[in-house]
Structure 1
């Protein structure tokens, strides 16, 4: 599972209008910038813009001269799109669809069929059970067996779970045969909770870890949001202290945030979230920044 993902991948939620709409042309240019930078792993989901992320990623990959052959694509199951108008859920500008939680076998099969149609791909390399926080019984009892069967049949390449928490992901690793987990926001400079049990368990069992949300939705990249909401004063203060430490070494805080997850041997890939070609260029440059050992020692102490 580790082969092919690369050290960095692109998360497509921002390109579907997370927090603010993104025009089609800008999304295409951003995907092109990621491809030109060498990124080949792309993560998407029906939830992102009610299918808009999948549609845009699919159009881009199909339009490549070489096709989508080099790309590694993951999507997610657990939310089925139905006609109607629902809450925006952080994605303004996309109407006509309502998200329904469904971790049943039928829901998994329907979700994957819809995702294949939206992307125009013939298979997915990796499929995650998406945010089953309050649905463990159905997710583990129905969604996981359905995905395991599809993996055994070669219909999908690998399977896993993707969440904004570490505890249930640890349970998936211990109680099922997942190939990978996507842990968002729980192994960052601000929140290292995944290091307690999840990462050691994944390392022991050979489960690939993909780290997402490494800026904690913005506060570690100069923004004022934390976990998709306004950052509380104490979080802003901690981020400010981390920024001060990085500045004392001449290092931008986002560079340390992007590089931090790779310090753990269980982490295979870090997802970059970008909504413009300029952000891609900037993030790629940040990943090449030299970070001295002394900086890490101070950041570890502050964390």
Structure 2
């Protein structure tokens, strides 16, 4: 069995929650899994709890914020609902999770005035702070798909999470990249405390990955040994800068391919040029220098 890869987290959003997939991840050295209260039709925790021989081998992170509704999941930051979800999570897993994220708080907060939204965010974060103190989890964090609405809500009264999870990768828009970095800065979180998610913006089999050349984001020695998918995965650690990356797959071969890319070196200058290009696209620039940057990086024409 290989040494663990602390920078890789097995995301279970679309997983079929099968024993052989978890066992294969363990055999490859993956020691962290990420799920949520609402995943797998709100049965993720119960299903994982049945793997009592495998589950102790993993660090388990999960999320709370979505709850069963009449026809679809509904989002809520109500302290009572969050606390109930945390207690049920412990019962279903048969153990406290190592980390609990507040799940996409912007879903609710973006509909409120800034003053009310700030109060709701602070109250929801305090539920997780209290959960740590009560032994319902070891640490807490915030997972945000659209971090922009959160940036202006953070002040001196907002509890500081242990971990922030945001989207990462070549298909993340510049506004989201900048908002993620601003949020981490406001909370004084180093890159090691920031997790990336959805590095392929959907699926690694999407046609976009046949149209661009992510290997240009690697230094020359690494370009020769990495596939485009490996290069895109490795570059996702730098867009924005994250210490861990959650990626989902029930295919052991795909996971093995991604893990093999961790030793590849990313070209920081190319990442900087790419971000400059994204900024120009946002402002509507189509100058020759912008087109030249696109040609150098092999960047997609849109994000």
Of structures 1 and 2, the one scoring higher in RCO (CA 8 A, sep 6+) is: 1
Structure-1 separation of matches of 2:98 and 2:124: 17
CA contact (8 A) 1:77 1:128 kept: yes
Matched ranges for 1:85-96 at <5 A: 86-87=71-72
Larger Rg: 2
1:105 and 2:79 correspond:
yes
Structure 1 residues 279 and 162, CA gap change in structure 2 (3 angstroms):
same
Instruction: Give the drift of 1:37.
Output: 1.3
Indicate the residue corresponding to 2:131 in structure 1. 150
Could you say what secondary structure the match of 1:110 adopts? Answer: helix
Q: TM-score, normalised by structure 1?
A: 0.71
Structure 1 residues 142 and 182, CA gap change in structure 2 (3 angstroms):
same
Q: TM-score, normalised by structure 2?
A: 0.71
Structure-2 separation of matches of 1:293 and 1:211: 18
Structure-1 separation of matches of 2:80 and 2:183: 30
1:182 and 2:155 correspond:
no
Q: Deviations over 1:254-277 (max 9, x none)?
A: 212211233379512001210222
Indicate the residue corresponding to 1:213 in structure 2. 198
CA contact (8 A) 2:122 2:159 kept: no
Structure 1 residues 139 and 111, CA gap change in structure 2 (3 angstroms):
farther
CA contact (8 A) 2:7 2:245 kept: yes
Q: Which has the higher strand share?
A: 1
Matched ranges for 1:1-303 at <5 A: 6-15=6-15, 22=16, 27-60=18-51, 62-64=52-54, 68=56, 70-81=57-68, 86-87=71-72, 99-121=73-95, 123-136=96-109, 137=117, 139-171=120-152, 175-184=158-167, 187-191=168-172, 192-199=174-181, 201-202=183-184, 205-206=188-189, 208-218=193-203, 221-224=204-207, 236=208, 240-243=211-214, 245=216, 249-250=223-224, 251-263=226-238, 266-289=241-264, 301-302=293-294, 303=299
Structure 1 residues 253 and 172, CA gap change in structure 2 (3 angstroms):
farther
Q: Deviations over 1:133-170 (max 9, x none)?
A: 23123751432121122223443222221121131353
